[in-house]
């Protein structure tokens, strides 16, 4: 074949490929049946991409705790390792080693006893839901073994059902655990103004068939931390009094990656004797793209041997205790990257900023809305960086939270609306989750849009008094912000003056001509 005909063949192919994209996309591609004919990869990708464009923008999704953005380096590493099956430890031993390192890092962060033979005990999962299932199964198996020993029977001869105690604020995965694995759910209801576990009620529900209590470090509903230390102490008292040794599983889906960095003095983890297992979501404040969860057990004996299977059909003996077998190593590699790259310093800065931004948002929502919004989350106490708020029922508004978030959606913000759990299920709340990429600037834009939506809704529904006060509130806010900015600038000015003053000698030594003048000039510029 001549060179010229080869070139024209190539360009003809390229043209057909290019045209095919448009021709094939216009076909009526079946949605629920496999198409009969092949199409180019370009065409298929184009069809899928154009539909997915209709999804919301993940970065404006304030509903979710799940990470939506990672560094380029992290993403590249994840893509490079997508094709490795973590279950195949014989072939991908290094990926498996990285999983073990992450388990050890988390166990250390959660203060697991350092003397575990063979290292920390835990595994990666698809998310916290799978981790919760594994944690619950370990509690059930442990309880069954104890019952069997007490009754002189084999574990499989125990037919009584065990029970698990938790507040109604739990994530649905805890309810699934109970239903799927035949555990009686003893649910402690919430009350108005109490959206976490009532510890006295929890203790009163404990008996010889209780396999454990689930405590939440950061509830999905309001972001509050349940008082795990008080629960631990109450369970220790119960043990001393009645001989009942009831363990705690901590659902730290979000909180377990916030508390160690921002609230290191809050005791919620393996520092507490009754805490036997902890789950967290790597894809939430672990800062990895989905799906990744973790479960860590206090000691080897807290993961009953009976739950561990050994397989050798991939070439070596492999211990497996996950619900799922095959999975990509990508997110585990991403997690290790984040641990290495950010370290304690990086996680602390990110989590502290998120907590500060949530606090700022909660305060601003309260002050800017003229009493129209009630914030339920306790952002001035150790809690997740999220805000749960409602429209104030005392204002007798002619619009509700659903309309409010619908109008916010028109401005691009995705904010969920949901009801709290029994006995507070008559309260409807909106939730804003503050993640790493939620900056103070985004917070200001969101606040302004919330104010605009409230003004528009109040106007639309004839609440003219509210329109006036919300507009006035903006002026006050504006003034407040200006005076706050002014105060911040003055503080900055003082600091940079001190820095310039402090460095004076060095500056003079380094550059006797001009540098000092330049720094002074920069300082003056900042004041302006």
Yes or no: say if 397 and 463 are a contact pair by the CB < 8 Å rule.
yes
The answer to whether 220 contacts ligand PLP (rule: CB under 6 A) is yes
What angle is formed at CA 481 by the lines to CA 477 and CA 484, rounded to 5 degrees? 135
| Residue closer to ligand PLP (CB basis): 120 or 216 | 216
Q: Which residue, 238 or 253, is less far from ligand PLP as judged by CB?
A: 253
CB of 127 to ligand PLP, least distance (A): 3
Number of helices and strands in the chain (H, E): 14, 13
Query: Restricting to residues 155-184, which ones interact with ligand PLP according to CB under 6 A?
Result: 171, 173
Which of 81, 128, 222, 335 binds ligand PLP (CB under 6 A)? It is 128
CB–CB of 237/194 below 8 Å? no
Shorter beta-carbon distance to ligand PLP: residue 98 or 216: 216
Q: Are 157 and 356 in contact (CB under 8 A)?
A: no
Q: Does 226 bind ligand PLP (CB under 6 A)?
A: no
Binding of ligand PLP at residue 127 (CB under 6 A)?
yes
- Contact assessment for residue 481 and residue 439, using Cβ atoms and an 8 Å cutoff: no
Choice from 67, 281, 322, 369 touching ligand PLP (CB under 6 A): 281
Q: In terms of Cα–Cα distance, which of 171, 142, 102, 511 is closest to 332?
A: 102
Least Å from the CB of residue 175 to ligand PLP: 11
Minimum distance of ligand PLP from residue 102's CB (angstroms): 15
Asked whether position 379 contacts ligand PLP by CB under 6 A, the answer is no
Q: Which stretch binds ligand PLP (CB under 6 A): 251-259, 313-321, 468-476, 497-505?
A: 251-259
| 130 or 302: CB nearest ligand PLP | 130
Q: How far is the CB of 502 from ligand PLP (least distance, A)?
A: 46
Which of 89, 279 has the CB closer to ligand PLP?
A: 279
Query: Which residue from 298, 307, 303 is spatially nearest to 278, judged by alpha carbons?
Result: 298
Number of residue whose CB is nearest ligand PLP: 127
Closest separation in Å from C-beta 128 to ligand PLP? 3
Q: Choose, by CB under 6 A, the member of 202, 206, 253, 473 that binds ligand PLP.
A: 253
Query: What is d(CA 434, CA 452) in angstroms, rounded to the nearest whole number?
Result: 21
Question: Could you tell me which of 69, 47, 46 has the C-alpha nearest to residue 57?
Answer: 69
CA atoms within 13 A on the CB side of 462: 2
Least distance between ligand PLP and beta carbon 297 (Å):
17
Phi, psi of 297 (to 5 degrees): -100, 155
Phi-psi region of 118 (alpha: psi -120 to 50; beta: other; left: phi over 0): left
Footprint (CB under 6 A) of ligand PLP, residues 282-341: 293
Nearest to 120 by CA among 139, 99, 90, 137: 99
Q: Does 129 bind ligand PLP (CB under 6 A)?
A: yes
Contact 58, 68 (CB under 8 A): yes
From first CA to last CA, the distance across the chain in angstroms is 73
Closer to ligand PLP at the Cβ: 293 or 334?
293
* Binding-site member from 168, 177, 216, 374 for ligand PLP (CB under 6 A): 216
CB of 178 to ligand PLP, least distance (A): 14
As a whole number of angstroms, the distance between CA 306 and CA 337 comes to 33
Q: Which is nearer to ligand PLP, 278 or 467 (CB)?
A: 278
Tell the smallest beta-carbon distance from residue 221 to ligand PLP (Å): 9
Q: Closest approach of Cβ 330 to ligand PLP, in Å?
A: 16
Which residues within the stretch 58-87 sit at the binding site for ligand PLP (CB under 6 A)?
65
Nearest CA among 301, 320, 311, 225 for reference residue 266: 225
Q: How far is the CB of 145 from ligand PLP (least distance, A)?
A: 26
Instruction: Name the β-bridge partners of 383.
Output: 224
Q: Which is nearer to ligand PLP, 232 or 281 (CB)?
A: 281
8 A C-beta contact, residue 256 and residue 217: yes
Site string for ligand PLP, 21-60 (x = CB under 6 A): ----------------------------------------
- Compute the least distance from the CB of residue 298 to ligand PLP, in Å: 19
Between 251 and 302, CB nearer to ligand PLP? 251
Q: For 311, phi and psi rounded to 5 degrees?
A: -125, 150
Q: How many residues make contact with ligand PLP (CB under 6 A)?
A: 13
261 and 384 in contact (C-beta within 8 Å)?
Answer: no
| Strand order across the 210-216 sheet | 121-125, 293-297, 275-281, 248-251, 210-216, 163-167, 184-188
Provide, rounded to whole angstroms, the least separation between the CB of residue 192 and ligand PLP: 21
Residues at the contact surface with ligand PLP, assessed by CB under 6 A: 65, 127-129, 171, 173, 216, 220, 251, 253-254, 281, 293
């Amino acid at each position: 074949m001549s060179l010229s005909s080869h070139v024209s063949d190539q360009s003809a192919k390229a043209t057909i490929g290019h045209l095919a994209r448009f021709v094939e996309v216009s076909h009526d591609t079946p949605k629920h049946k496999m198409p009969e004919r092949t199409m180019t990869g370009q065409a298929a990708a184009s069809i899928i991409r154009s539909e997915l464009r209709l999804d919301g923008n993940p970065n404006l999704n304030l509903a979710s705790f799940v990470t939506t953005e990672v560094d380029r380096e992290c993403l590249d590493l994840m893509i490079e390792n997508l094709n490795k099956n973590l279950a195949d430890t014989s072939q991908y031993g290094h990926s498996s080693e990285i999983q073990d390192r992450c388990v050890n890092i988390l166990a250390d962060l959660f203060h697991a006893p350092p003397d575990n033979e063979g290292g920390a005990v835990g595994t990666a999962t698809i998310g916290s839901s799978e981790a919760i299932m594994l944690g619950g199964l370990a509690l059930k198996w442990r309880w069954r073994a104890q019952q069997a020993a007490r009754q002189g029977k084999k574990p499989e001869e125990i037919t009584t059902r065990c029970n698990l105690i938790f507040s109604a604020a739990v994530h649905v995965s805890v309810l699934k655990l109970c239903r799927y694995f035949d555990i009686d759910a003893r649910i402690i209801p919430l009350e108005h103004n109490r959206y976490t576990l009532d510890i006295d009620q929890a203790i009163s529900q404990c008996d010889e068939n209780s396999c454990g209590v689930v405590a939440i470090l950061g509830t999905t509903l309001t972001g509050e931390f349940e008082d795990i230390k008080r629960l631990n102490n109450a369970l220790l008292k119960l043990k001393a009094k009645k001989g009942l040794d009831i363990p705690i599983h901590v659902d730290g889906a979000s909180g377990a990656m916030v508390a160690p960095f921002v609230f290191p003095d809050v005791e919620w983890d393996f520092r507490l004797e009754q805490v036997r297992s902890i789950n967290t979501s790597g894809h939430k404040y672990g800062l990895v793209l989905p799906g990744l969860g973790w479960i860590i057990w206090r000691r080897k004996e807290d993961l009953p041997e009976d739950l561990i299977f050994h397989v050798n059909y991939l070439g070596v003996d492999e211990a497996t205790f996950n619900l799922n077998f095959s999975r990509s190593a990508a997110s585990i590699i991403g997690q290790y990257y984040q641990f290495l790259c950010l370290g304690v310093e990086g996680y602390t800065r990110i989590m502290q900023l998120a907590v500060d931004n949530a606090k700022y948002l909660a305060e601003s929502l309260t002050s800017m809305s003229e009493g129209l919004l009630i914030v339920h989350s306790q952002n001035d106490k150790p809690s997740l960086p999220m805000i749960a708020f409602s429209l104030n029922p005392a204002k007798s508004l002619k619009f509700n939270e659903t309309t409010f978030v619908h109008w916010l959606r028109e401005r691009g913000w995705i904010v969920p609306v949901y009801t709290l759990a029994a006995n507070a299920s008559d309260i409807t709340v909106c939730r804003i989750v503050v993640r790493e990429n939620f900056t103070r600037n985004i917070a200001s834009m969101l606040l302004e849009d919330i104010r605009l939506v409230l003004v528009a809704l109040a106007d639309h529904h004839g609440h003219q008094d509210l329109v006036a006060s919300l507009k006035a509130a903006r002026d006050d806010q504006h003034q407040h912000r200006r005076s706050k900015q002014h105060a911040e600038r003055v503080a900055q000015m003082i600091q940079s003056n001190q820095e310039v003053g402090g460095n004076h000698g060095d500056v003079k030594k380094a550059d006797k001509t001009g540098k000092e003048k330049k720094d002074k000039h920069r300082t003056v510029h900042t004041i302006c």
